[in-house]
Amino acid sequence: MAKTLSDKKIATLLTRRVEEVIDRGHLEKQLAAGHKLRVKLGIDPTSPDIHIGRAVTLWKLREFQELGHQVVFIAGDFTGLIGDTSDKDAERPMLSEAQVEQNIKTYFQQAAKIIDPKKSEMYYNSKWLKKLGFLEIGRMADVFGLHEFESRENVSKRLRAGKRVSVRELLYPLMQGYDSVAVKADLEIGGTDQRFNLLAGRTIQPLYNQAPQDILTLTLMEGTDGRKMSSSWGNVIKISEAPDEMFGKVMSISDSLIKKYFVLATRMELAEIEAVMQLSNPRAQKVILAKKITELYHGPKAAAAAEENFETKFGKLGGTIKPDFTLKKKAGNYPLIEILVEGKLAASKSEARRKLLEGAVVVDDQKVSDPSSQVAVKSGTIVRLGKRFLKIV
């Protein structure tokens, strides 16, 4: 038996970080009765590192684990080969087996930073997907109509634009759905971009005399540049990142994302978060946020040291920032690319241009991504690229 929960605790479990619950009524009854659920999460190794955006689902898995439910974590070594097109506006190329093998090496180890591996079932989905033959795939495919795939927003958008949609991409949801059959999932967790794939499991399970799984879709996180956090865009904060690097990256996010990061990426109570959001200085809010996130993955000592290192380098609130370089410039407007090169933050104009396009450059706390930008220079202007600063004197 899992823990029986009050209505209030069930509401919290099914709302924080959560966008949609399918079937809410059924799931609420299961939780209220204390039934032990098999709660599934799968992550494909599209890169070697799990980032804090993907960790949102792992923390929800941890919540269920703490309540006594059986969590099942699947590293998608086989689905990673095929490629999920859920959030792509172009065809995702197939990864090679060597790429997947390289990417997946530490996935279980990384997941163990969040869920208790001793109380978890962990699988590679090649264990069952490699064994499927055409007959089995045909049976599963028969429960779907082509119109269901065409109705997916990213697929219909590509078809309208005359872009290719491969049959391989259409088969992906069947494979993820079969994962649910293989582990007998009662509940599956995933990001909102996974909705169709999660529903596929719910559709396929009755074919194998299993009750359809319930579903939780969770909120997606923006990365350090304001776009969806994605390894392919390089705007991620990895859960394996060194404490100083993790702390500094959190400090670089837009002020508009502070509360969302608190809700999605920390375990602070919502009342505590609201209290922090009453602080008038966003930088003070971010220091608390950066410390809380770093604590989750490296512990309080490392987080405190990261905070101290950050303040030593960049100054405390109201203090003087200690730059890596200084640059003398007369008042006036100057191309930002030239400032980055002359200030030794970029080795060349082409590198400076690339870093600007990546959203890695900040001028006086404002992110700048236009390579043609000019800066109104005055004494005290701070230009940052990554962890390095220069100061106009």
Which has the higher per-residue pLDDT, 366 or 98?
Answer: 98
Tokens of 179: 């994962």
Q: Is 315 left (phi over 0), alpha (psi -120 to 50) or beta?
A: left
Lowest mean pLDDT among 52-61, 76-85, 87-96, 285-294: 87-96
CB 42 within 8 A of CB 189: no
Are residue 267 and residue 343 in the same domain, yes or no?
no
Q: Is the dihedral of CA 266, 197, 37, 18 positive or negative?
A: positive
Q: How large a percentage of the chain has pLDDT more than 90?
A: 50
pLDDT at 156 over 70: yes
Which has the higher per-residue pLDDT, 211 or 153?
Answer: 211
**Helix (DSSP H) and strand (DSSP E) numbers for the chain:** 18, 13
Are residue 336 and residue 301 in the same domain, yes or no?
no
CATH number, domain of 63, equals: 3.40.50.620
What phi and psi, each to the nearest 5 degrees, are found at residue 164?
-75, 140
- CB neighbours (10 Å) of residue 207? 15
CATH number, domain of 252, equals: 1.10.240.10
Are residue 329 and residue 309 in the same domain, yes or no?
no
- Does 272 map to a domain? yes
Are residue 127 and residue 249 in the same domain, yes or no?
no
What's the total number of domains in the chain?
3
Question: Range of 109's domain?
Answer: 7-223
- Does 228 map to a domain? no
- Does 319 map to a domain? no
Are residue 55 and residue 115 in the same domain, yes or no?
yes
Are residue 145 and residue 252 in the same domain, yes or no?
no
Please report the pLDDT score of residue 217 as a whole number: 97
Q: How large a percentage of the chain has pLDDT more than 70?
A: 93
Q: What is the mean pLDDT of the chain?
A: 87
Residue range 81-98, pLDDT digits in tens: 887 765 555 556 667 788
Last residue of a domain, one of 314, 346, 364: 314
CB 5 within 8 A of CB 31: yes
Residue 319 confidence class, pLDDT cut points 50, 70, 90:
very low
Lowest mean pLDDT among 137-146, 205-214, 230-239, 328-337: 328-337
CA dist 342 and 336 (Å) reads 10
Which residue matches tokens 């005290």? 380
Rounded to two decimals, the pTM is 0.78
**Region 6-10: what's the mean pLDDT?**
84
Q: Is 22 left (phi over 0), alpha (psi -120 to 50) or beta?
A: beta
DSSP state of 19: E
Please report the pLDDT score of residue 387 as a whole number: 64
Are residue 189 and residue 87 in the same domain, yes or no?
yes
- Does 66 map to a domain? yes
Residue range 198-237, pLDDT digits in tens: 999 999 999 999 999 999 999 999 999 889 998 878 899 9
Nearest to 241 by CA among 288, 302, 284: 302
Are residue 62 and residue 185 in the same domain, yes or no?
yes
Are residue 217 and residue 264 in the same domain, yes or no?
no
Are residue 342 and residue 306 in the same domain, yes or no?
no
Are residue 347 and residue 287 in the same domain, yes or no?
no
